[in-house]
Chains A and B, each alone.
Chain A
Amino acid sequence: MEMPSPNPMILARKTTIVDRLRAVLPDDAVIDDETETRAYECDALTAYRCPPLAAVLPSSTEEVAAVLKVCFEEGVPVVPRGSGTSLAGGALPTADCIILGVAKMNQVLETDYENRFVRVQTGRTNLSVTGAVEEEDFFYAPDPSSQLACAIAGNIAMNSGGAHCLKYGVTTNNLLGVTMVTMEGDVVEIGGAHLDAAGLDLLGVICGSEGQLGVVTEATLRILRKPEGARPVLVGFDSNEVAGQCVSDIIKAGVLPVAIEFMDRPIIEIAEKFAQAGYPLCEALLIIEVEGSEDEIQAQLKRIIEIAETHHPVALKESSNPAESAAIWLGRKSAFGAVGQVADYMCLDGTIPVSTLPAVLKGIQDLEKKYGLRVGNVFHAGDGNMHPLIMFDANKPGDLELCEAFGADILKLCVEVGGCLTGEHGVGIEKRDLMLAQYTADDLDIQMAVKDVFDPQWLLNPAKVFPLTSSDSRRAPAIAA
């Protein structure tokens, strides 16, 4: 992926810029040493790296505002960073940018069980939001796989999802309000503890804007009471088509599982070898989880199993205790790690209409032959959010490029069947240059016009989301600064 060349005038002013940042932040909150800035050279898309000009770690909204004011005045690009777990390169720096990390801002500011919300600083990790409210049996619903490490700031930037969003929705459906600092250093409050924010739905467009409209420092999040219990059932089929049909029938029947996860044969084999979860070796496995009281769980599972049996499953295992539930989830949860043991891999994130699942899986198999690389599929089937894992060898010259081309073809296939490039990871740099496969130049222009309003100089995370050729004329003033 190409990144814009750094602005030599900014590089030349490094000392002045760093001095100005030191003047508004505590000493240990500004990192400009060339070895130390390496810690911020990449996120979880590790194939791309570039140390920033400097990194800053403010501790409050006021400090964030002060940093942005300096950067605005100096015309320096700013790349906001949560925990750096983006798989799309959302927090990848350029050599002339300041990394603005919110990791120090991890406090819970307000907890209100009556009104069911929690207000946190956005450097707090996803799982620790639930951690802050679980003593009262509440939880924060969006559950990206990286939830132990990923920050709410990044969840808001990417509108993160997770396995359980079939029932509870993604970040945008659980975000009530934000405190945001604009590139000019102004602090704005949007929304709050009430359900509908006033005026235009700015909250809706800020969530998922990949840190390009402002830096969100505080968030009001909806919390929910934990269900009384949850239990999965594991169902195996001898073809992807039949498994796909079963998913469709369950949805149509009106049972709403909290999660429906799908694994194909390559993933089942790799995960089973790694985790020994006791998975049957078949063509496709579904994990379907339901929630509620014991009676409710039984009633829902009964209905799901009835539907599954009409599709003649080759295996069916209903959990009868917490240990069995954990075993059913074990293989799924360790799938990415297991694949990582046997190969380097690239994880894609396209979403497709559920009805096209068998056709898309077949299409991916055809592409495997074309590119000579293996793919395993593990994904959130209920909402069609696929995660094809393309396995390659990073040490073999040309393999990464081959893998990227293969990935691009899979994502184009997702768009062709009526889906989209990314369901929950975001565009970042990874899918930036594919945006014109999904949108027209005009469609992208109106999105970029939104950024023009929030950040007229295009200083916030400027080289992401939009193809560089599309954003060129807008980024030009910043480069000329």
Chain B
Amino acid sequence: MTATEGVKMTTESLSPATSVEAVADQVRTAAGPLHIVGGGTHMMCKSSNPALSLAALTGITLYEPGAMTMVARAGTPINEINDALAGEGQRLAFEPADWRGLLGTQGESTIGGVAAANISGPRRIQVGACRDHMIGVEFVDGTGRILKNGGRVMKNVTGYDLVKLMCGSWGTLGVLTELSFKVAAIPETEVTLVREGISDDAAVARLCEAMGTPYDLSGSAHLAISGNTKTCVRIEGLAASVSYRRDALLEEVCAGFEVLEGAASSELWNSIRDVSAFAQSDGAVWRASLKPTDAPALTAKMTEAGVNFDAIYDWSGGLVWLLVHSDQSAAASLIRNTVDSLKGHATLIRSAPSLQDVPRFQPQHSILRNIEAGLRSKFDPRGILNQGFMD
């Protein structure tokens, strides 16, 4: 994996800006395409263009625990934000992942990078994604204008919601400079119920059944690695409530599951969040988004075709992480075609040498492709911001 090469500072790199005005100036005076970099830890794409670094645009600018809102500059390290929130018993509920192990990157993940990639963890099934928690954005468009959308309040329908459009746009619509989030209290207790040896389709069926109970799961995942499986559900909340829901789940859906508490529980979910099982490995890593009950159909097709792979089913199967060990090209076409026929999509998160020509994102149907191209031409008329990153 050579993802880090693109983020190395070249002689052409711009000096890291310390203000939004400086970022705007760098964009306005750019002679050609730029490569926007936060901490470089989620970087999937290589680029030889000069780097526009946000690493020096840091700091939490507003934090009101009683209003559950936090505003930070884009280059602020996620760890700094996590620490500040934890000091008040709060957190970013969407569980931003740490992909450094997965992508072989180094450095500090930044809040801007998390927002640009809409990185969300297992709790997405309960509380929503990064895009659901982001409530305001300041960004610099491709002409160097400093623009704002949303704000610092949780309910806001004033004009178009460009906050969501910017979240997950991988820097192709603008340079994120400041972001507002709603935050949530860290619950008193968490408990995980886990069982080994359940087959993939039985596990997904079980997870969907558990999600359909009133017990408010905050994690629902199944790991199938090297022939061993582990099926896990998580519940969080007040201690009295968690123990009630634990017992109800054990009785109604999760018979024979073991109970994990405290650190054993949180470490398991951190590893699912960070896709740790696929770190320090070779081979392409795919992230498929599907209707949960369609997930086993995708992996069954791969097995049938003789592809050697491991799978992590998060979000009850709605998100399938695939580590492909062999036959990369054949597996790539199979994955893309199968998810397309299932009306889902797949992103190539970590490429392999034989996949240089495979697009990172699932090709869109023509009308949507035209709309996306139209938006990019309005937000970045010169085509200088992370060009091609979402192709």
Whether, in the assembled complex, A19 has its beta carbon less than 8 Å from a beta carbon of chain B, the answer is: no
Whether, in the assembled complex, B68 has its beta carbon less than 8 Å from a beta carbon of chain A, the answer is: yes
Chain A residues positioned under 8 Å from B160 (CB to CB): 205, 208-209, 447, 450-451, 465
Chain A residues positioned under 8 Å from B343 (CB to CB): 192-194
Chain A residues positioned under 8 Å from B165 (CB to CB): 200-202, 204-205, 450
* Residue of A with least CB distance to B120: A196
Chain A residues positioned under 8 Å from B163 (CB to CB): 204
Contact with A along B331-348 (1 / 0, CB 8 A): 000000000000111000
Asked whether A446 lies within 8 Å of B290 as measured between CB atoms, the reply is no
- Give A contacts to B, CB under 8 Å: 112-116, 137-138, 158-159, 161, 165, 169-170, 172-173, 182, 186, 188-190, 192-196, 198-205, 207-209, 225-228, 248-249, 251-256, 292-293, 295-296, 299-300, 303, 351-355, 380, 383-385, 418-427, 431, 435, 438-440, 442-444, 446-447, 449-454, 465-466
Asked whether B214 lies within 8 Å of A226 as measured between CB atoms, the reply is yes
Whether, in the assembled complex, B374 has its beta carbon less than 8 Å from a beta carbon of chain A, the answer is: yes
Whether, in the assembled complex, B129 has its beta carbon less than 8 Å from a beta carbon of chain A, the answer is: yes
Chain A residues positioned under 8 Å from B258 (CB to CB): none
- Tell me, rounded to whole Å, the shortest Cβ–Cβ distance linking B184 to chain A: 8
Q: What would be 12 A-B contacts, judged by CB atoms less than 8 Å apart?
A: A115-B293, A116-B208, A116-B211, A116-B212, A199-B362, A200-B168, A200-B375, A204-B165, A299-B240, A427-B157, A438-B151, A454-B371
- Tell me, rounded to whole Å, the shortest Cβ–Cβ distance linking A420 to chain B: 5
* Residue of B with least CB distance to A300: B238
- Tell me, rounded to whole Å, the shortest Cβ–Cβ distance linking B92 to chain A: 15
CA distance A204 to B367 in the complex (A): 17
CA distance A192 to B345 in the complex (A): 10
CA distance A447 to B375 in the complex (A): 11
Asked whether B157 lies within 8 Å of A453 as measured between CB atoms, the reply is no
Chain A residues positioned under 8 Å from B64 (CB to CB): 353-355
CA distance A292 to B242 in the complex (A): 11
A450: contacting residue among B152, B158, B375, CB under 8 A: B375
Asked whether B185 lies within 8 Å of A351 as measured between CB atoms, the reply is no
Contact (A418, B375) CB under 8 Å given A251-B66, A251-B68, A426-B157 = no
Chain B residues positioned under 8 Å from A204 (CB to CB): 131, 161, 163-165, 167
Contact (A201, B168) CB under 8 Å given A159-B161, A351-B155 = yes
**Chain B interface: which size bin?**
35 or more
- Tell me, rounded to whole Å, the shortest Cβ–Cβ distance linking B121 to chain A: 12
Whether, in the assembled complex, B59 has its beta carbon less than 8 Å from a beta carbon of chain A, the answer is: no
- Tell me, rounded to whole Å, the shortest Cβ–Cβ distance linking A230 to chain B: 11
Contact with A along B374-391 (1 / 0, CB 8 A): 110011000000000010
- Tell me, rounded to whole Å, the shortest Cβ–Cβ distance linking B204 to chain A: 9
* Residue of A with least CB distance to B317: A115
* Total A-B Cβ pairs within 8 A: 260
Chain A residues positioned under 8 Å from B290 (CB to CB): 194
Asked whether A252 lies within 8 Å of B88 as measured between CB atoms, the reply is yes
Contact (A192, B244) CB under 8 Å given A447-B149, A453-B371 = no
Contact with A along B145-162 (1 / 0, CB 8 A): 111110111111111111
Among B146, B209, B240, the most chain A Cβ lie within 10 Å of the Cβ of B240
* Residue of A with least CB distance to B151: A420
Whether, in the assembled complex, B98 has its beta carbon less than 8 Å from a beta carbon of chain A, the answer is: no
- Tell me, rounded to whole Å, the shortest Cβ–Cβ distance linking B143 to chain A: 10
* Residue of A with least CB distance to B187: A254
CA distance A234 to B209 in the complex (A): 36
A444: contacting residue among B154, B159, B213, B241, CB under 8 A: B159
Among A161, A193, A256, the most chain B Cβ lie within 10 Å of the Cβ of A193
* Residue of A with least CB distance to B243: A295
CA distance A385 to B157 in the complex (A): 11
Chain B residues positioned under 8 Å from A248 (CB to CB): 66-67
Chain B residues positioned under 8 Å from A444 (CB to CB): 159
B147: contacting residue among A192, A255, A295, A442, CB under 8 A: A442
CA distance A204 to B135 in the complex (A): 12
CA distance A322 to B129 in the complex (A): 35
Among B214, B362, B364, the most chain A Cβ lie within 10 Å of the Cβ of B214
CA distance A192 to B159 in the complex (A): 25
CA distance A195 to B124 in the complex (A): 9
CA distance A253 to B68 in the complex (A): 11
Asked whether A453 lies within 8 Å of B375 as measured between CB atoms, the reply is yes
* Residue of A with least CB distance to B204: A114
Asked whether B292 lies within 8 Å of A355 as measured between CB atoms, the reply is no
A442: contacting residue among B124, B145, B152, B154, CB under 8 A: B145
- Tell me, rounded to whole Å, the shortest Cβ–Cβ distance linking B148 to chain A: 5
* Residue of B with least CB distance to A423: B155
* Residue of B with least CB distance to A296: B241
* Residue of A with least CB distance to B241: A296
Contact with A along B75-104 (1 / 0, CB 8 A): 000000000000011000000000000000
Asked whether A425 lies within 8 Å of B238 as measured between CB atoms, the reply is no
CA distance A422 to B161 in the complex (A): 12
Asked whether B157 lies within 8 Å of A158 as measured between CB atoms, the reply is yes
A201: contacting residue among B158, B169, B289, B378, CB under 8 A: B169
* Residue of B with least CB distance to A166: B154
A196: contacting residue among B148, B289, B371, CB under 8 A: B289
